[in-house]
Amino acid sequence: MCNTELLSLLGRDKLIAICRGAEGETLLRLAAAIRDGGIRFIEVTFQQEREDCAGLAQRNIKALCGLPGIIPGAGTVLSAAQVRAAYEAGAKYIVSPNTDPAVIAEARRLGLISIPGALTPSEIMAAHNAGADLVKLFPAAAMGLKYFKDLRAPLSHIGLVVTAGVTLDNLGDYLKAGAFAAGISSPLCNKELIAAGGFDEITRRARAFCRIASPSVSA
C-alpha cells in the first residue's frame, strides 16, 4: 500500500493508537484488543530511556507486523538512525514529538509517512515546509480546543493530528474542528487495565473511539 493510500485510509479511520511501554506478549495482546475494537493504525514508541531502545522498538514493530489487520508505525522517533531502524522492522509511518528536518528527510527518503510534532504556528509551518505529510499537534489538550481552532484558521491546508489528552469526551470536538486524525494513548494503553488483564475493556474503549471517529462505519 502506497503512502497516498495509507494517508487516505488514516483520513477515513481518524485514529492512531499509541502503545507506549508495552512489549512482547503484552504488546501483542494489547494490539490485538485495540484492533478488535476497530483501530488499525497502531504506533509503537521508541523508549528513549532504554539502552536497547532501537533493538526493542524493532522487535516490537516486527511483532506487530505479524498481526493481521494492523498498520504498524513508530513513535517518539528522534533521529535518522531510528527512522532506519523502524523502517527495517516494517513500520509504515514515523511519528515524533518534535520537528527535526533530518528525521523528516530520512522518512521521506525511505518512503515512510512523516508525522513530526509541533505546537506553535511557526513550528507547524517549519514541519510542513520540511516535507512532513502531516503534523502532530503536541500536546494538544494542554492547549485546549480554542487554541486548535485558532491554529486551523490560517493553517487549514496542513493536516493536523491532535495528540496527548485526547479522550472520548473531546475527540468529537477536535474532529469537528478539522483535525485530520487523533493519537490516542492512555485511554487505550492503560497500565492498570493491562496489568489486570482487562483487554475486553480496551476493545470496548477502542470501539467507542471508532464510533465517534467514523459513526457511519461503526454504527
Residue 206 in grid coordinates: 477502542
Give the catalytic positions in this structure: 43, 136
Q: What is the rounded CA–CA span in Å between residue 13 and residue 77?
A: 23
* 217: three-class secondary structure by DSSP: helix
* R_g of the chain, CA atoms, integer Å: 16
Q: Which residues contact 112 (CB under 8 A, 6 or more apart)?
A: 3, 83, 86, 87, 91, 92, 93, 94
> What are the backbone angles phi and psi of residue 187, rounded to the nearest 5°?
-65, -25
> What are the backbone angles phi and psi of residue 53, rounded to the nearest 5°?
-50, -55
Q: Which bin fits 166, alpha (ψ -120 to 50), beta or left (φ > 0)?
A: beta
116, 98 in Cβ contact below 8 A?
yes
Q: How far apart, in Å, do the first and last CA atoms of the chain sit? A: 27
